[in-house]
Each structure stands twice: as structure tokens, then as C-alpha cells.
Structure 1
Amino acid sequence: MQLKTMRAIRQSMLGGPEVLELVSMPRPEPRATEVLVRVAAAGVNPVDWKTRSGYGGIGKPPFILGWDVAGTVEAVGSGVTRFAVGDRVFGMPEFPSEAGGYAQYVTARARHLAKMPERLGFVDAAAMPLSSLVAWQALVDTASVGPGDRILIQGAAGGVGHLAVQIAKSLGAYVLGTCAPRDVTFLHGLGVDEAIDFTQQDAASTVRDVDVVLDLVGGPVSMASLPVLRDGGLLISVPPFTDLVPIRTAAGDRIRVTDILVEPDRTGMEAIADLVEQDQLRVRVAHVFALEDAARAHELGETGAARGKIVLTAGAWARMPKIQSSVRQTIISTKCGAAAPQKETS
């Protein structure tokens, strides 16, 4: 017998992590072109706590946060031909509108999801969509990166950055990445050609002739990235609150400058799934929380101390197949760690 109710994390007001409440509510039903997904895991991203605090665009509370989801198709609406009940799927539905990923069930348009790679577990799958799509849409759709291109990734060890490194390498690029001292070895393990410890080396004064800069840090880093670019190069600034007007003025006609807002992308998700199957893309999962501990997950995320992605689990995840992370994961019950000296703000 199918449950008609579900547990979800909902907020009725804007504020700190304490506004996130565990509630019981009616389970959604799929409409035409939608599927109902039984959520096994949901990713936690910086946009989540920014939206919780009032900087997002999904309107006034009450609402349910969360866009990155991985789970199993429970039901299909009319017109759906891509999926069947029982399929394992992952994706980033409805972004930037409300998707409701912090819940046991979510409905999504079928074309906002992709089938999970066989080798990927639910936790890893939930950690990937938003971050990997930002990287894919920046490097492939926006920059058209190809073999031999020189790419500098500012914040290369972060949630988006470490995936961008691997995607850029899969495209044949020469990849430079800035990071904290503790992550130099990690980046070399991902295949980065030059890992730059930003506490010891100023990329703006030592790096030149870069074709593309993917800035995941924002603020003054975008402006400081201009000198590294060749004439006709491209600066992609991902953090949403970076003022591009003075950067474009300084860049003049020499450098192209753009921002980017990620969007649901079935084709991109399928390409990402292919990279996973080919063992060219792995996600770094730092911490796993139970759904009811969403507030603790946000507390940790906002410190910048998580060295990798944070994931919520919405069910008996330990009994699900292929759930172990390909990099690293832990179960967290208390906040821990110190803030990282450099972090993505996207």
C-alpha cells in the first residue's frame, strides 16, 4: 500500500537554520509529463541556505528547499515515455523555482531528470546535479572548451570546482586550479596540471595566456583574474552577487566577461552520467546527514568547513545498493571543523 503522506523539511519563515522544520504532509502526485520520485538522497548546496535566509527567488515561505535529488521512480504521469516505475534517476528539477527536494517524495518533469549510472550510489548521485551542471554548462555550453585550451579554475577544490577540473580534463584541456594548501594533493589526484596554493602564489601575477577563467569564488577574485587571460579570452563568474559592471569596464574589448545561471538540463545530465560510467568523473562527498538533521547540515555548510558535498538521506539509505561514496563520506551528528580559507560562494 502506497503512503499518501511524507516527511519533509519545510520552513514557514526566513531566517537561520533553526527555521527548518520536519513536518508530515500530503505526498505529491505526478501531473502530465511528470514523474513521482521516492527520494533516497538530496544534495545540499550554498543556494539552499541563501534561499533559506531570503536571497533566493522562489518567493515567500512556506516552501521546501532542495534541488539535487536521487531516487527511484514511484509513479509516472500521462505522456511520460522516458522512465518507468523502478528506474533510478537523478537531476536538478525546476531550478530556480521550488522543487521540494528535502522530502521523501518529489515530483519533477521527466525531462529534468536522467537515469543514474549503474556504478553510482544514491548519495553520490544526489551530490552531483547542480554542481556538475554548473561546470558542464560553463565549460561546454558557454566556453566550448576543447583539446589544448588552458583553463584556470578559481576555487578548484570546492563543490563545483573539483567536478569542473574533471570535466575540463575529459575535454582535453590543460587545467590550472587555485586551492588551499590542504587540497593541493587532492587536485593533483584529480588530474589537474597545475595546482596553485593561493596562500603562497598569486595566480594573477604568475599565470598568463589562459583561454578561460571559471571563477567560483567571486568578489575581487573576478577582477584579479583579468590579467591571466589572453586577448579574446573568456571570464565566467559564477557567484551571483559579483558586480560585473566594473569588471567588464576593466576588461574592455580585450576579454569577454559573463555570468551564468544553471538550469535543468537532461542532455547535460546524460553526458555527466556517461563520464561517471567511464570513470572520468567522481564526486567528493564530505558529510551525510539524515533528513531530520537538515539544520545541522546547513550550519556546517555555512562555515565553509566541509571539504566536499553535503547530502541528506531521506530513507533507509544504508540498505540501498551502491550507496558508498566513490571518494569519501561520513555520517555527522554534530557540527565540526574549521572554516576553509577559500570557498566557493556559488
Structure 2
Amino acid sequence: MRAIAYRHCLPIDNSASLEDVELPTPALEARDLLVRVNAISVNPVDTKLRAGSAPAEGQLKVLGWDAVGVVEAVGSAVSNFSVGDRVYYAGAINRPGANSELHAVDERIVARAPASLDDAQAAALPLTSITAYELLFDRLGLPKDGGAGQTLLIVGGAGGVGSILIQLARQLTQLRVIATASRPGTRQWCLDLGAHAVIDHSKALSEELKALGIDGVDIVASLTQTPQHYAQIIASLKPQGRLGVIDDMATLDLMQLKSKSISLHWELMFTRSMFQTPDMDEQGKLLAEVAALVDAGKVRTTVNANFGSITAANLRKAHALIESGKAQGKIVLQGF
């Protein structure tokens, strides 16, 4: 089968950083689906692993943690899906990624794709939807339809996770949603997705909030460059506020949170699949809920760029855009 992989950690402008390769069809475990991949999207995790996680000597590594496709075969213990089902999912970080014609994935983290979206549109949603949903409800502990009278500040509102978090917060909670964006286009993007207001993260967040008449927020979802914004996040949070974080960083001084009794909540959407937690199937359930919201017209795809067919050359272009820090919404590719 055709796939895109890498052998060494190389800069994305090197043609060997991602290569077109041929690989054998993956073997199925008992609860696996074999999916013929029709569309994928690209996430920051792809670029981070390509740049910093080298395969073993002589081995290939396939990236890709967003896919839409059709089930071609099922494992011996599969109970929720059948051959021919059209599905979407994000996969598991400790297994080969979905940048391949055929992909094996555990049925518990899979759902039927939104019927109202085409493959490319649906491919934009799984990883970011899982991240945003888990951050809101599993990590920050918000009840469904809760948050009345509270304000959520989303740092990095126009990125992949921010784009779906704005929508889920508006549809499933009563929070007042403030997003950050620093360019006219990204500002409008956040407003179009449902943010009540947008502030500029290139300026002091606390002062930007005060200009809106907001002295402090109850919750911050910091989705990018947390160390850069950390002091202003703390200044912007009310005493006993909650801080949710998804990005990677070398250090974070937790003592700065103590005086306000601010709680810190990490979100990594791969935790459930990586550790085979007893509630691993919650990811499949939440993806089904997101699909229902999409088909009801309450949540929209976050695609902002389609880079064409699934080839190494096109994937390199997508990685380069993400690494530039200028990506808005999600980048998708479709068809081998």
C-alpha cells in the first residue's frame, strides 16, 4: 500500500523529511478496523514528531492522526462497525499513523463520520474535537449546559483546537467565550465561529479584557505558547480559577498559581488510547456526539485549506505552514 513516512528527523525543506513509500497492509488486532483512508488532516503533533522522534535505525515511521475512510475489514472481536461503514477518528500515538492507504485503528476510538460533510471536511475534526471536548468536560470539569455567569478565555482561538473549542463551548455550555487572535483574518474567523468577543494576544491579555469591561475570567484554555502568555494568564484569572493547557513546554513555574489557588489541568487526547484506559470508548462516543452536532447544523467543519492529494510533497507543504505559526483552522488532504 502507498504511504508517506520518514526515516530521519530532518527540516521540512529537505525532500527526505517525508517520503512516498510502499508498506505492507497492517495486521489487525481483535478490536481493530481496517480502514481505507480517503482524507486526512495535519496537526502540530505531526510536525513535532517528525522533527524530534527518530525511527529506529533502518525503520520507517508513518505520521497522521486524523482520518476519514471506509471500513474494509474488521477484527475478530469488533462489535460496533461493519465493512462498508464510513468512519472518522484520530487514532493512537503509539501505533502507526493514518498517512497510508490502509490503516488499522481500535473501534473504541472511532465513530461514523458526519453524513453532511464530505471526506475532507470531516477529516478536519477528530483530533481537535476530542482535545477540546476532553479539555472542557473531562479535565476542567464543566457540566454539560453549565458555566452560566462564567467566562472562558481561549488563548489561540483561530488554531485547530481553538476553532472547535469555540463552537463546542457555545453549543454545549453557557460560558461567555472570549478568544484571542492577532490578525484581522483570524479575529473574524473566531467571531464567525461564535466567540462573543476577540482580544489581541500580542498585547497584555488583562488589559485587553479590561477594555471589554472584564476584570477577570474564570477559566483559561491556553492552546499555544503558554510560557509566553503565562504571566498575563495568571493576571487575567480570577482567584480559584482554572487553567487548561495542551501545548508542550520545557518548564512551567507552578508556584505562580498558588496565591490565587489556580488549578492546572493537562489535556492529551492520546492518553486514553495509549494507556488503554477503561473509559477508552468515551472517545468514540464523543466523536459520535460531535457528528450529530455537525449534522444538526450546530457545529461546522474547521477546514481552512485543502492541499490536494495525499503525497509527500503536499504533506511537506502542510507541515511547513503549521511550523510557520500562521495556520488558521485545519489543513486537509484527500485521496492517494
Deviation at 1:242, TM superposition (A): 5.3
Contact 1:208 1:227 in 2 (8 A): no
Deviation of 1:55 (Å): 4.9
Deviation at 1:115, TM superposition (A): 0.7
- Structure 2, unpaired ranges of 5+: 274-282
Q: Given the alignment, which residue of 6, 13, 37 partners 1:11?
A: 6
Instruction: Please tell me whether the aligned partners of residues 3 and 21 of structure 2 are also in contact (alpha carbons under 8 angstroms).
Output: yes
The correspondence of residues 30-41 of structure 1 with structure 2, limited to 5 A, is: 30-41=28-39
Instruction: List per-residue Cα deviations over 1:123-175 (Å, max 9, x = no partner).
Output: 12211111111111111111133242310000111111111111111122110
Q: Deviations over 1:182-220 (max 9, x none)?
A: 122222222211111334x53223243311100012222
Report the more deviating stretch, 206-215 or 62-71: 206-215
2:98 equivalent to 1:98: no
2:204 pairs with 1:202? yes
CA deviations on 1:270-311 (whole Å, 9 max, x unpaired) are 222222122222122122232112222212221223322111
Q: Could you say which residue in structure 1 is the equivalent of 2:276?
A: none
Q: Which of 48, 51, 54 is equivalent to 2:52?
A: 54
The percent identity for this pair of structures is 32
TM-superposed CA distance for 1:59, in Å, is 6.8
Gaps of 5+ in 1: 1-5, 316-346
Which amino acid counterpart does residue 128 of structure 1 have in structure 2?
A: L
Equivalent of residue 213 in structure 1, options 210, 216, 220? 220
Distance 2:134 2:250 in 1: 19
Amino acid of the structure 2 residue aligned with 1:174: R
- Counterpart-to-counterpart distance in 2, 1:144 and 1:98: 29
> Aligned partner of 2:262: which letter?
I
Which of 185, 188, 191 lines up with 1:188 in the alignment? 191
Please, which of 224, 236, 256 is the counterpart of residue 228 of structure 1? 236
Does the 8 Å contact 2:68/2:119 carry over to 1? yes
* Higher mean C-alpha displacement, 201-210 vs 169-178: 201-210
Shift of 1:33: 0.9
Deviates more, 1:229-238 or 1:273-282: 273-282
Count of matched residue pairs: 305
**Which residue pairs with 1:334 in the alignment?**
none
Indicate how the Cα distance of structure 1 residues 68 and 301 shifts in structure 2: closer, same or farther if over 3 A, else same: same
- Corresponding position of 1:260: 267
SS at match of 1:291: coil
Partner of 1:304: 325
Mapping 1:12-91, distance limit 5 Å: 12-17=7-12, 18=15, 19-55=17-53, 61-91=59-89
Tell me the amino acid that sits aligned with residue 38 of structure 1: R
> In the alignment, is the contact (CA less than 8 A) between 2:158 and 2:181 conserved in 1?
yes
Residues in 1 aligned to 2:56 and 2:147: alpha-carbon distance in whole angstroms: 42
Corresponding residue number in structure 1 for 2:170: 169
Q: 1: distance between equivalents of 2:250 and 2:46? A: 18
Offset of residue 14 of structure 1: 1.4
Q: Which consecutive segments of 4 or more residues in structure 1 shift more than 6 A?
A: none
Residue 132 of structure 1 pairs with residue 129 of structure 2? yes
Query: How big is the alpha-carbon RMSD for the aligned residues of Structure 1 and Structure 2?
Result: 1.9
